[in-house]
Amino acid sequence: MATLLASMTVVERVRARAREITLFLAGDVMTGRGIDQILPSPVRPHLYEPYARSALLYLELAERANGPIPRPADFAYIWGDALAELERARPDARIVNLETAVTTAEDAWPGKGIHYRMHPGNVGCLTAARIDCCTLANNHVLDWGYRGLEETLSTLRASGIRIAGAGRDEAQAAAPATIEVAGAGRVLVFAFGTQDSGVLREWAARSDRPGVNLLGDLSARTADAIGRQVRAAKRPGDIAVVSIHWGGNWGYQVPAEQRVFAQRLIDAGVDVLHGHSSHHPKAIEIYRDRPILYGCGDFLNDYEGIRGHEAYRPDLALMYFVSLDAASGRLTQLAMTPMQIRRFRAGRAGAEAARWLEETLDREARKFGTRIERRVDDTLLAQRA
């Protein structure tokens, strides 16, 4: 892994890197509600939340906490320093969980407490970061009904962004997104959501109904079925990513059934497990030379100024850069860049924040035989303990 690469000559490193595929992975990217309101084409700001009737309240809270936010902000604004990090790392594929509908539909899902949406005219905030794939099997993509889902799918596809985890029927929702990597194989992204993350049972796609790719359970039978699907689609040189929206928003505990399920997926041919739903990063495990990211945390949100979970440092986020041997799928390096959300913008985190993330993630990762080390530039590395 990283230590092996460090011992190579420059020529050997160049040759080794030529055989690698590097992925940029992020957790939840929530560009709706308050964030949508600062972009060039905001939707109507009305909400149906018991404690907020306008998305402008979230903008007000953020400005009260950290100062004025430009309006309108350009599409690159929200990514901030992340754009320079992406340019430095030059990943072969960029994958995020988009936790918002992209629509002007007014069909707010009845009885649901929170409804996220971004105007289709603001989809440029995703293309500004050259996102290749948005996973959509989450608990907000149908916040504005089936018309909202249809407009989300159409808008993303028209923008050249691949989709996984939702579709116009069960087959589309289950189909992997395919990202071609020049000079190598493909990255296949399969996406799923679970009810314990807030995905409603009635949101499940069917043969005659749009929806999300909902997992009924985390049983061995379900894992084996996913494994068969992955093996049927995978060709030599391909990297298979399974992205799962699972679990609650707060807390570091990883349920035993999640760990067993993730390991069984790796045994079945999956190369990367990309977990999300938690509002903060969770433990990492390296199992059979494959990374399991149990919870990547939020990457962008409009939660500034909302109090109650400060112990988890929800203002901090991570950019995950996962490098794998293209031939075998084995992990060669898992590097993370600490970021901090301020004024609805991702900025590079300072040394204190990076140290806090290192200590917290190392504590949690060691429970899974993995250690986290901070480099002199404050980026983090995950390696087997």
Residue position matching structure tokens 């992925």: 23
**In contact, 218 and 182? CB cutoff 8 Å:** no
Q: What is the pLDDT of residue 183?
A: 86
Indicate whether 73 belongs to any domain.
no
Identify whether 50 is part of a domain. no
What is the extent of the structural domain holding 258? 2-32+79-384
Query: Quick one: pLDDT at residue 11?
Result: 40
Residues in the chain: 385
Query: What sign has the CA pseudo-torsion 79, 85, 88, 89?
Result: negative
In a domain, 24, yes or no: yes
Total domains present in the chain: 1
Complete DSSP assignment for 344-357? TEEEE--HHHHHHH
Query: Cα separation of 190 and 177, whole Å?
Result: 7
Whole-angstrom CA distances from 363 to 14, 252, 271, 321, 372 are: 33, 10, 24, 21, 8
* Residue 205 and residue 172 in contact, taking contact as beta carbons nearer than 8 Å: yes
Q: Is residue 68 part of a domain?
A: no
The pLDDT score that the predictor gives to residue 14 is 46
Q: What is the pLDDT of residue 44?
A: 97
Q: Are 75 and 127 in contact (CB under 8 A)?
A: yes
Assigned domain for 13 exists: yes
Between CA 321 and CA 337 the distance in angstroms is 8
* pLDDT value of residue 200: 98
Q: How far apart are CA 344 and CA 75, in angstroms?
A: 12
Single out the residue of 153, 159, 179, 199 nearest to residue 272, CA to CA.
179
What's 148's domain CATH number? 3.60.21.10
Q: Is residue 349 part of a domain?
A: yes
- For 364, the enclosing helix (H) or strand (E) is helix 351-365
pLDDT of residue 8: 46
| Alpha-carbon separation of residue 91 from 83, 86, 135, 286 (angstroms) | 12, 7, 18, 20
Q: Is 98 among the domain residues?
A: yes
What are the residue ranges in the chain where pLDDT is below 50?
1-5, 7-16
Buried b (16+ CB within 10 A) or exposed e, 110-119: eebebbbbbb
Q: Is residue 292 part of a domain?
A: yes
Q: Is the bond leading into 68 cis (omega within 30 degrees of zero)?
A: no
Indicate the pairing of strand 93-98 with strand 133-135: parallel
pTM here?
A: 0.94
Task: Provide the CA 136 distance to its chain's centre, in angstroms.
Answer: 10
CA 102 to CA 97: how far, in whole Å? Answer: 13
Cα dihedral angle (60, 198, 293, 289), rounded to 10 degrees? -160
At residue 19, the pLDDT reads: 82
